[in-house]
Amino acid sequence: MSSADKPTLPPLGDLPGENAPAQILKGVEALRDAWTRLPTRPGVYRMLGADGEVLYVGKAKNLKNRVGHYAQGRGHSNAIYRMIQQTIALEVIVTETETEALLLETNLIKRLKPRFNVLMRDDKSFPYIAIRTDHETPALQKHRGAKSFKGKFYGPFASAGAVNRTLNTLQKAFLLRSCTDATFSARTRPCMLHQIKRCAAPCVGLVGEEEYAGLVRDAQDFLEGRSVDLQDRLAKEMRAASDALEFESAARLRNRIRALASVRAAQGINPTTFDEADVFALHQEGGQSCVQVFFFRAGQNWGNRAYFPRHTSEETAPDILAAFIAQFYEDREPPKLILASADPSDRELLEEALSLKLDSRVEIREPQRGEKKDILDAALLNAREALGRRMAETGSVAKLLDGVAETFGLSERPERIEVYDNSHIQGTNALGAMIVAGPDGFVKNQYRKFNMERAKFQGDDFAMMKAMIARRFARMLAEGGGVHRGDAVERGGIDFSKERDADPPETKFAAIPDLVLIDGGDGQLNAALEALDELGLKGKIVIVGIAKGVDRDAGRERFFMPGRAPFRLDEKSPVLYYLQRLRDEAHRFAIGAHRGKRKAEAVKNPLDEIDGIGPARKRALLDRFGSARGVSRAALSELEAVEGVNTELAKRIYDFFHDKK
């Protein structure tokens, strides 16, 4: 390429006006500096903000051209201007093809969750139905996760409820066992499932091997889409049994036919023009979106699920669908046919990437007529209704949060509320818990547990609360993450005067709450305030104590705030109900975590605390002395006689138990 042909950018003076904000010009300069060193090859680029935060991940067929578009500094949407404004550096990864770049981009978006990307926020795994064939008597069961055993897997199903309903009916229709192999081998008489006619009881030989194998084949035929043929064959067998006066057999076949028919009736839409497809229907309203996903396998409707992707209000339907579909199949196997309510951006590239993942051709279509269009219209109706419900719920929560702001004198509606509670029994297994709530409800991936040292606190609730608050907010200062409205705080590099991040970090304590609720009265509140004071945060974090009344009755809660007399809310106040829900959720989480810790403590063996004792040596000691107590009573010479225990380890074991005494 000659110097005359090389791409050039306009000088900074030609950017939209000399009055352009300095921060935007600074971001453009950073992109221009990176642009000069970029290759003209495919790859993935990451725009980085302060503290290395990844603002945006994108792919390009030509990295230099794509980044040069941003470095022009003009003709962008407001969201892109904000992104450029916060960019201080650019990182790139060069790939061989644009398809590889798309796959890498999708992986990075799901892992890093950049603020300016379209983000699929719910990526829970889907359940499957499995027929295990790693045992001579196959079992029918629900399965989620890696396919780590031999068998046939059918799915995905949209939810645990959908798979449970289908399993229920399959048990009635095919009478396959659902027990574990250990339970199967230990049975001496039929279980309750046989009594209620949901299992043929192969464990005790009430069904022959050949007949049970026939039931397994029938179940596979149904799950693989041959249900109509199966029902026709069962109907013929039923008539033949009836003609032969075998009325009991005929009744069993009739019940199986009814069960199979009930599955298809409950599934609603069952297509005839295709066997396998996923349907993506997008509805947008008020700057928000809902993507309704329907699963069709073996000619059957296996449920649907609604998603609410995060994106800017300026994103178009093709861009949202393209990003969503790519992320949806990042860790899932796509079907051969995908129906979408709009033609996704870069459709051919997306088809190529999904075909590479499936190792077979994948087609993405926007149907215009016929049965496929009718199914897509039904999915769109579901998407519109789901988004309407969500917006109504969000509006209700917004009113409640406005009420919370008014109740506690906050300048704005709280976006992040943290609630703290302690749990222990007479000082044992002490544990603190933090839950997080916001406009979208409880943010469970940001819940946290705090283990407390028993010897240090001995059941002192006030000391535990102080330690928990100190640990949480010391981490906030150390990480220097999130930002908040209000006065500036110089400690930890956090400026409270800026506007908060759209999505606080999920795995760190950097996010700063608008409101902190603690379960307790004046004592717990003062303990928490002491912790904040020692960190230089007193007066910067709004903190409220919520305590039950003298009779500990719900509805008579008293609220404690610094510089304000304790007060109560009207017993019928919606805000009070909302605050009770927050407090009860914190209590539930704390109790659940405490029970888990107590259960783990109950099965803990003192030998686990001794350095140098692994599973093999622990087993040898227990085999020799019978229990940990027996080990504690053993003489030094007896310990040395155990296989694998040398003189040094024997002395360490002996000293451990005798020093404790």
CATH code of 277-389, in short, is 3.30.420
Kindly report, residue by residue over 607-643, the tens digit of the pLDDT: 777 888 888 888 888 878 877 788 888 888 888 888 8
C-alpha pair distances (Å), 166 with each of 171, 174, 274, 303, 549: 9, 12, 21, 10, 48
- Confidence at residue 455, expressed as pLDDT on a 0 to 100 scale: 44
- Mean pLDDT for the stretch of residues 317-342: 92
309 close to 119: Cβ distance less than 8 angstroms: yes
Q: Residue 613: what pLDDT?
A: 84
Res 322: pLDDT: 94
State which H helix or E strand residue 299 sits in: none
Across 63-67, 406-410, 545-549, least confident range: 545-549
- What number of helices (H) and strands (E) belong to the chain? 21, 19
Dist CA 573 CA 570 (whole Å) = 5
Inter-axis angle of helices 98-112 and 347-358, nearest 10: 80
- For range 296-301, the mean pLDDT: 83
Q: Measuring CA to CA, which residue among 471, 424, 425, 432 is closest to residue 450?
A: 432
**Among 173, 163, 168, 170, which Cα is nearest to 297's?**
163
Residue 148 DSSP SS3: coil
Helix (H, G, I), strand (E, B) or coil at 33: helix
**pLDDT mean across residues, the chain:** 82
Q: Are 89 and 122 in contact (CB under 8 A)?
A: no
> Which residues 6+ apart lie within 8 Å of 535 measured at CB?
470, 473, 474, 477, 491
Among positive and negative, which fits the CA dihedral 576, 582, 584, 587? negative
The span from the CA of 356 to the CA of 335, in Å, is: 12
- Write down the pLDDT at residue 516: 94
Torsion of CA 212, 214, 215, 217, to 10 degrees: 130
Task: Note whether 516 and 414 are within 8 A (CB).
Answer: no
- Provide the pLDDT confidence category of residue 8 given band limits of 50, 70 and 90: low
Q: Is the pLDDT of residue 412 over 70?
A: yes
Cα–Cα distances in angstroms (integers) from residue 616 to residues 133, 218, 346, 609, 612, in the given order: 33, 47, 57, 15, 11
pLDDT value, residue 63: 92
Is 60 exceeded by the pLDDT of residue 238?
yes
pLDDT of residue 614: 82
Count the neighbouring beta carbons within 10 Å of the beta carbon of residue 10: 11
Size of the chain, expressed as the number of residues it contains = 661
pLDDT band at residue 108 using 50, 70 and 90 as cut-offs? very high
pLDDT digits 0-9 by tens, 594-616:
676 666 655 567 777 788 888 88
Alpha-helical runs (H) found in 180-279: 181-186, 192-195, 209-223, 227-243, 247-267
pLDDT band at 372 (very low <50, low <70, confident <90, very high): very high
Across 136-147, average pLDDT:
87
Of all helices (H) and strands (E), which one includes residue 31?
Answer: helix 22-35
Q: Is 179 exposed, middle or buried (0-12, 13-18, 19+ CB in 10 A)?
A: middle
Burial of 303 (0-12, 13-18, 19+ CB in 10 A): buried
Count of C-beta atoms within a 10 Å radius of residue 351: 19
What does the DSSP 8-state code read for residue 119?
B
pLDDT classification of 263: cutoffs 50, 70, 90: low
Q: Are 461 and 545 in contact (CB under 8 A)?
A: no
Q: pLDDT tens digits for 112-141?
A: 889 899 988 776 778 888 999 888 899 999
Which pLDDT value is given to residue 596? Answer: 65
Residue 317 pLDDT level (bands cut at 50, 70, 90): very high
499 versus 193: the higher-pLDDT residue is: 193
pLDDT digits (tens, 9 = 90+) for 417-467: 999 988 755 445 677 889 999 888 888 888 888 877 654 655 577 888 898
Weakest-pLDDT range from 90-99, 113-122, 340-349, 518-527: 113-122
CATH class label, 606-660: mainly alpha
Q: What is the CATH number of domain 409-601?
A: 3.30.420.340
Instruction: Tell how far CA 597 is from the center of its chain.
Output: 23
pLDDT of the residue at 367: 93
Query: How many other CB atoms are found less than 10 A from the CB of residue 372?
Result: 19
Q: Do domains 409-601 and 606-660 have the same CATH topology?
A: no
Q: What is the pLDDT of residue 501?
A: 42
Q: What is the pLDDT at residue 486?
A: 41
Asked if the model's pLDDT at residue 365 lies above 90, the reply is yes
Given a cut of 80, is residue 319 above it in pLDDT? yes
Q: How confident is the model at residue 236 (pLDDT cuts 50, 70, 90)?
A: confident
- Per domain, the residue ranges of the chain are 12-112, 128-267, 277-389, 409-601, 606-660
Q: Which fold has domain 12-112?
A: GIY-YIG endonuclease (3.40.1440)
